[in-house]
Structure 1
Amino acid sequence: MFKTVFLDFKQLTKVGLSISVVFTSIAGYLLGAETINYAIIFQLALGGYLMVGASNAFNQVIEKDIDALMQRTKNRPLPSGRMKSITALTIATLFTLTGLAILYAINPKCALFGAVSIFLYTSAYTPLKAITPLAVFVGAIPGAIPFMLGWVAATGNFGIEAGFLFMIQFFWQFPHFWAIGWLQYEEYNKAGLHMLPMDKKDKGAIVQMIFYTCIMILVSIAPVLKVTGNLYIYPITAVLVFVLGLLMLFYAIKLYKSESNIDARKLMLASVFYITALPIIYVIDKFLH
């Protein structure tokens, strides 16, 4: 019994996703911090986890009926009937209030960005998925906040540095989510969700994946030009980041040629590798300065 409740709680708050968000925001903090304050890192990790958990719980309450239609999601706690909507709503609300309070204790700007993130994810992105493919653009905004949030937690400022960290994660999301949209196209279609550009599983969608991958690569190496305030990377780091981006581009082009789910999966996995490795490379670079 306890194990089921625990697993349902894990699924409702998407612990895996939450941990990846916490990881990225801590990397952002390390990039911005003059001296490392472990209390703030702990608050950022806990606050960030609660914000993502809340967004996912709200999302699953709203999409309960849609989730029931898809193979991938029909066994989630709500559509399967193992958890009541009111329970999920209570968890989401408690997570939101506690998360915002913790982020506010770091500084008010962190709480503001946290609140914007939850609001956009639940009130704009989630309902828009059933209406327009532009939902992915709206969803990319809350999705790009974690990296930047870490910088704001460290410095108390939202300047060009935080803006660039935001843009890296923002542009990264298009090839990532469209690769998932490609893989799940039939399922999403059945549930009435619009998760590919122009709603078509065709070469046009892949051209957009390639386009945004190229922009992401350019934004990721821009700090080497010393145009991003205090955010600077060495030329050797820029080369490394460029090669990392080329890996994603390689699979995007491969997908363009084959239009196969196998290559879409490879692109998706390459994108996960990219967003995990890039913050680590940036942080190592900073500590070599």
Structure 2
Amino acid sequence: MTRTVGRPVVRGLVTSLQAYQFAGGIGSLGVAMLYYGVNPVVAALGFVNIILYGWTYTSLKRKHIINTWIGALVGAIPPLMGWAASSSLAMPGAWCLAGLLYAWQFPHFNALSHNIADQYKRAGYVMTAAENPKLNARVSLRYSLLMFPICFGLSYFEVTDWMFQFDSAIFNGWLSLLAYQFWKQQTINYAKGTIPTEEGLRLASIQAKKLFWASVWQLPAILILSMLHKKGQWDGILYHLGLKEASNK
């Protein structure tokens, strides 16, 4: 594939065995550091993520489109690791944060894979963008919309204040609108009994690119806003500036 042709194993600079040995070594070292330097829960999550990505997800890429759903779990686990480093995973806010990262990966990756679907197919990878383009766009829209209730959950479970709902909705709405446009075009392209036209495919490609780049900016924006709207954040800042008295609670 064009996007991976320059990687060391592909170029023959490193053999597959050497890559495996190196990955096994640094993976084991990383899990050990997490176990002794943080706590067993974080280490366990790190170990699970290595297995999910290095074995389950990678193996499934040549077998079934469900690989993308498994791969999204890999992106959702790091926030849980960060949370577990200092708090309990029994807190619902941890799962809202993980859910945010999980949902985001579908509009991001599905849009990315749309324009290189043929490359995936030639390489022997079973991706939704190549196997079912209409489903690929529908999943992008579905998970873009899911970000609204997830952000609501962050406020409801007191990770963020309620103002977060207003400005996060701007970026979630932007992403959802572009995902809708992508889905709408693919619905037209792959309507029952319809063969996509060259113009229709061109428009879908444009919509996919717009959605991809929107996702690149949307996630950092949401995460920055969640930090700015962290519950009690401004109370603490105003207190330290001497502009507000300490709460008795």
TM-score above 0.5, yes or no? yes
Kindly provide the amino acid, as one letter, of the partner of residue 288 in structure 1. Answer: W
TM-score normalised according to structure 2 size: 0.80
Match of 1:137 among 33, 56, 69: 69
Pairing 1:119–2:51 present:
yes
In the alignment, the residues of structure 1 paired with residue 20 and residue 183 of structure 2 have an alpha-carbon distance, to the nearest angstrom, of 41
Counterpart of 1:151?
83
- Determine the C-alpha separation between the residues in 1 that align with 2:9 and 2:90: 38
Aligned length: 215
Is contact 1:175-1:271 (8 Å) kept? yes
Give the TM-score normalised by structure 1: 0.69
- The yes-or-no answer on 1:81 pairing with 2:12 is yes
Task: Report the AA paired with residue 96 of structure 2.
Answer: F
User: Which residue in the other structure is 1:271 paired with?
Assistant: 215
Q: Which runs of 5+ in 2 are unaligned?
A: 186-202, 236-249
Matched, 1:245 2:172: yes
Counting helix residues as a fraction of each chain, which structure ranks higher? Answer: 1
Look up the equivalent residue of 1:218 and give its one-letter code.
P
Match of 2:108 in 1: 176
- Structure 1 consecutive aligned stretches of length 4 or more whose deviation exceeds 6 Å: none
Do the aligned residues in 2 keep the contact of 1:179 with 1:267 (CA within 8 Å)? yes
RMSD of aligned alpha carbons = 1.8
Distance 2:103 2:95 in 1: 12
**Which residue identity is paired with 2:179?**
A
For residues 115 and 271 of structure 1, the distance between their equivalents in structure 2, rounded to whole angstroms, comes to: 28
Cα shift at 1:158: 4.3
Kindly, what percent of the aligned residue pairs are identical? 28
- Give the structure with higher Rg (CA): 2
Whole-angstrom distance in 2 between the partners of 1:279 and 1:148 = 15
Q: Distance in 1 between matches of 2:159 and 2:11?
A: 49
Deviations 1:70-129 (A, max 9, x none): 122122111111222233223212211121122112111000110111111112111101
Name 1:25's counterpart in structure 2.
none
Q: Distance in 1 between matches of 2:142 and 2:165?
A: 20
**Closer/same/farther in 2, CA of residues 206 and 170 from structure 1, 3 Å limit:** same
Q: Write the distance in 2 (CA, Å) between the matches of 1:99 and 1:89.
A: 15
Distance 1:119 1:86 in 2: 17
Aligned residue in 2 for 1:192? 124
**How far 1:181 moved relative to its partner?**
1.6
1:1-289 superposed matches below 5 A: 70-104=1-35, 105-196=37-128, 199-202=131-134, 204-224=135-155, 226=156, 228=157, 231-258=158-185, 259-286=203-230, 287-289=233-235
Contact 2:80–2:95, Cα closer than 8 Å, also in 1: yes
Partners in 1 of 2:149 and 2:137 — Cα distance?
Answer: 19
| CA shift digits 1:138-185 (9 cap, x unpaired) | 111111111221111122544312111111111111111111121211
Q: For the structure 1 residues 197 and 80, does the alpha-carbon distance in structure 2 shift closer, same or farther, using more than 3 Å as the test? A: closer
Higher relative contact order (CA 8 A, sep 6+): 1
Question: 1:29 matched to which residue of 2?
Answer: none
Q: Is the 8 A contact 2:161 2:229 kept in 1?
A: yes
- For 2:123 and 2:38, how far apart are their aligned partners in 1? 40
More divergent stretch after superposition (157-166 vs 174-183): 157-166
